[in-house]
Amino acid sequence: MTPLISRRWVRVAASVALALCGAAAHAEYPDHPIQAVSPYAAGGANDFLTRLMAQHMGTALKTTIVVENKAGANGIVGAGFVAKSAPDGYTLLMGNSATHGTNPTLYKQMPYDPDKDFAPVGMVASVPIVLAVNAKLGINNIEELLAYAKSHPGKLAFGSSGVGGTGHLCGEAFKAETGLDMVHVPYKGDAPAVADAMGGQVPMAFVGVASAAPLLASGKIRILAVASAHRSGSLPNVPTMAEAGYKDIQFAQWYALVTRAGTPAPVIAKLNEATKVALARDDVKKSLATQGADPEYMTPEQLRAFYQSEIKRFAEIITRLGITAE
């Protein structure tokens, strides 16, 4: 064997050995606990979903997934933390329609790029926005709401979880589409917004179905429409905005798992499969239903395309309606 051929075979053998070592390393993933970051405070929907998925994905992966809350700046603090983590699949983020949807347009300075700094793992769930009104108004549908607005000019206001949230955007889009004279009243979360709608401090609110549906039994609020492509499993008798004649008003609080960009593809594949297995469980589906959430499995490729389109869609809406958070 000539020296040239010998050296070539050495290089080939070394490459094969490295590839095998890399495959073995990926095959062993995970060999220690995984951290899952919820970029919001404990007790909310993001935290609930993070803990739910951590429990059942941990079972599927035969490891422990530890949840840590890193709240602040509408999810930016937690997302920024994961964006700077090691690209090894051991730090996950429960991203959502803020961290990977509205924030890139709402905030001029961001510590992360929602596309370049993250590797998508899989979609988890979506919670549609609903239009809830105070029952004392005697309004039963959107047609009656429009009639009420015409007879009470300047009297309508709507609450939402805060400036730039999906509820706020939904309300502004509805305002633009119908021409209603409405004032936005921002709250620190869906719960206080719908509570004030129930109490009459504001006549209506655009909030996630999880916050509004449990209050229907009180008889103090009515839900006029769901801002999703199809009716909510939690509110099967409530029509969609499209059924009411507003097909372009579709807003949901969606939640998806991502990790640091550069994480090896085999690791991403394992995480996605664990997501798929968890979402297929009947007990997980029941738990999601308690939050008004619909399971929404996606492959990493589908998820990337989805949030790229959402960033563009929200940017157009936010710019057109002149919404700012700073």
Residue 4, pLDDT score: 45
How many structural domains compose the chain?
2
2 assigned to some structural domain: no
Two structure tokens written together for 135:
């029952």
Contact 43, 67 (CB under 8 A): no
Q: In terms of domains, do 108 and 141 share one? A: no
Residue 5, pLDDT score: 47
CATH number of the domain within which 196 lies: 3.40.190.10
Of the candidates 190, 210, 226, which is a domain's last residue? 226
3 assigned to some structural domain: no
45 assigned to some structural domain: yes
Q: In whole angstroms, how far apart are CA 25 and each of 21, 28, 29, 256, 264?
A: 6, 5, 7, 26, 10
Contact 267, 88 (CB under 8 A): yes
1 assigned to some structural domain: no
Q: In terms of domains, do 120 and 165 share one? A: no
CA 280 to chain centre: 19
Residue 72, pLDDT score: 87
Two structure tokens written together for 188:
């620190």
77 assigned to some structural domain: yes
Q: In terms of domains, do 134 and 200 share one? A: yes
Q: Classify burial at 205, counting beta carbons within 10 Å of its beta carbon; exposed 0-12, middle 13-18, buried 19 or more.
A: buried
Buried residues in 217-236 as b, exposed as e (16+ CB within 10 A): eeebbbbbbbbbeebbebbe
Q: In whole angstroms, how far apart are CA 229 and each of 165, 243, 245?
A: 19, 9, 12
pLDDT tens digit at each of 326 positions of the chain: 554 445 554 454 445 444 444 444 445 999 999 999 999 888 778 899 999 999 999 999 999 999 999 988 889 999 999 999 999 999 999 999 999 999 999 998 899 999 999 999 999 999 899 999 999 999 999 999 999 999 998 889 999 988 888 999 999 999 999 999 999 999 878 889 999 999 999 999 999 888 888 888 899 999 999 998 888 888 889 999 999 999 989 999 899 999 999 999 999 999 999 999 999 999 999 999 888 888 999 999 999 999 999 999 999 989 988 888 76
109 assigned to some structural domain: yes
236 assigned to some structural domain: no
Q: In terms of domains, do 37 and 97 share one? A: yes
Residue 216, pLDDT score: 86
Residue 210, pLDDT score: 81
Q: In terms of domains, do 107 and 136 share one? A: no
Instruction: Give the pairing type, strands 34-38 and 65-69.
Output: parallel
Q: In terms of domains, do 292 and 206 share one? A: no
Q: In terms of domains, do 144 and 293 share one? A: no
Q: In terms of domains, do 112 and 202 share one? A: no
CATH number of the domain within which 93 lies: 3.40.190.150
Q: In terms of domains, do 30 and 167 share one? A: no
Rg for the chain, CA atoms, rounded: 23
Q: In terms of domains, do 133 and 118 share one? A: no
Q: In terms of domains, do 114 and 149 share one? A: no
Give dist(CA 208, CA 275) in Å, integer.
23
SS3 per residue for the chain: CCHHHHHHHHHHHHHHHHHHHHHHHHHCCCCCCEEEEECCCCCCHHHHHHHHHHHHHHHHHCCCEEEEECCCHHHHHHHHHHHCCCCCCCEEEEEECHHHHHHHHHCCCCCCCCCCCEEEEEEEEEEEEEEEEEHHHCCCCHHHHHHHHHHCCCCEEEEECCCCCHHHHHHHHHHHHHCCCEEEEECCCHHHHHHHHHHCCCCEEEEEHHHHHHHHHHCCEEEEEECCCCCCCCCCCCCECCCCCCCCCCCEEEEEEEEECCCCHHHHHHHHHHHHHHHCCHHHHHHHHHCCCEECCCCHHHHHHHHHHHHHHHHHHHHHHCCCCC
Domain around 188: 128-226
238 assigned to some structural domain: no
CA 200 to chain centre: 29
Contact 284, 133 (CB under 8 A): no
Q: In terms of domains, do 206 and 181 share one? A: yes
